[in-house]
A and B are shown apart, each in its own frame.
Chain A
Amino acid sequence: MNDIGLTPFLMLSGFLFACGVTCVAVKRNAVAVLMGVELILNSANLNLVAFARFTPAFRLEGQVFTLMVIVLAAAEAAIALAIILNFYNNHATVDVDEATDLKG
């Protein structure tokens, strides 16, 4: 395990983060934007677990924070889908470009 090192995990985490940001920026379907957010959260989780594995002072903390992020991501997905369903009920579309009701 030690022959992999920390850097490849950080590289993969950064790649997943960039993919998630691109997905959030480029998609117009609100559910697809939510998937991009899930990808971003996963990359952060991978970062936390990798640091917990390779830094002796963060053995427990990395895993604890990762569990909390997983639970909060589940809550975030539930509330976001509820909002998307509400928006679809009112506007008959999930295009995020159409969500301009609060625009001044």
Chain B
Amino acid sequence: MTSLTLPVVLFVIIATATAVSAVALVVERNVVRMAIWLLFTLIGVALLYFLLGAEFIGAAQMIVYVGGTLVLVVFGVMLTAQGPMRELRTRRIEWIVAGALGGALFVLLAVNAWQFSTPTSPDDVLPGVGPLGLSFLGVSETTPPENLAGVPADAPMRRSPVAYLLPFEIVSVHLLVVLIGAAYLARAKRRVKP
């Protein structure tokens, strides 16, 4: 069995906190409190990224999700508040069906995850910010050190020399278009009384 080292203890603490926050997010009725539980869940996932050694991803998660998306969601909650304590209640039968669905899904995923053995994992760490940025700019070598599963060993891995420059550009232009569209959609209009 695994020994009780510092990463194991940290993982148990962070994973428990994340899972409890996720469950509380599901069972909570108040939307503002749901946003707070979502905040804790996102911070827990970011801490897991730090634990895995992906510092840049963890920092991006903190900045984009916790700093940006969550503030956006809270603004959405505030702008669509419906009276002081009016809540949208879910019927009991819907809770039962959705809970059974979620439980069955978790069992399926857990059984599948249990069959994964940890691959032979060398002790080197994930590439940091430098190789990541160079691969986005297309000047980095992205050929994997080993052959991928499913690829014949004698077939050369052919990859484009511009590694991730085109997806990076597509994502950035997509973000620009989406933000302009969101600003257009959410512009102030006269409210229609039903």
Which interface class (under 10, 10 to 19, 20 to 34, 35 or more) fits A? 35 or more
By the criterion of a CB under 8 Å from any partner CB, how many residues of chain B are at the interface? Answer: 100
Residue of B nearest to A35 (CB): B38
B82 & A17 in contact (Cβ 8 Å cutoff): no
How long is the Cα–Cα vector from A83 to B57 in the complex, in angstroms?
29
Q: Binary interface profile of B, 1-19, with partner A (CB < 8 Å = 1, else 0)?
A: 0110101100100010011
Dominant secondary structure of chain A at its interface with chain B: helix
B72 & A78 in contact (Cβ 8 Å cutoff): yes
A79: chain B residues within 8 A (beta carbon): 178, 181-182, 185
How long is the Cα–Cα vector from A92 to B81 in the complex, in angstroms?
10
B51: chain A residues within 8 A (beta carbon): 1
A94 & B11 in contact (Cβ 8 Å cutoff): no
Residue of B nearest to A17 (CB): B109
A55: chain B residues within 8 A (beta carbon): 119
With contacts A12-B18, A60-B131, A78-B178 known, is A70 near B65, CB below 8 A?
yes
Q: Lowest 6 CB-CB distances: which A-B pairs, in order?
A: A14-B109, A22-B102, A10-B113, A18-B106, A82-B185, A25-B98
A residues contacting B by CB (< 8 A) are 1-23, 25-32, 34-36, 38-39, 42, 45-46, 49-50, 52-61, 63-64, 66-68, 70-79, 81-86, 88-95
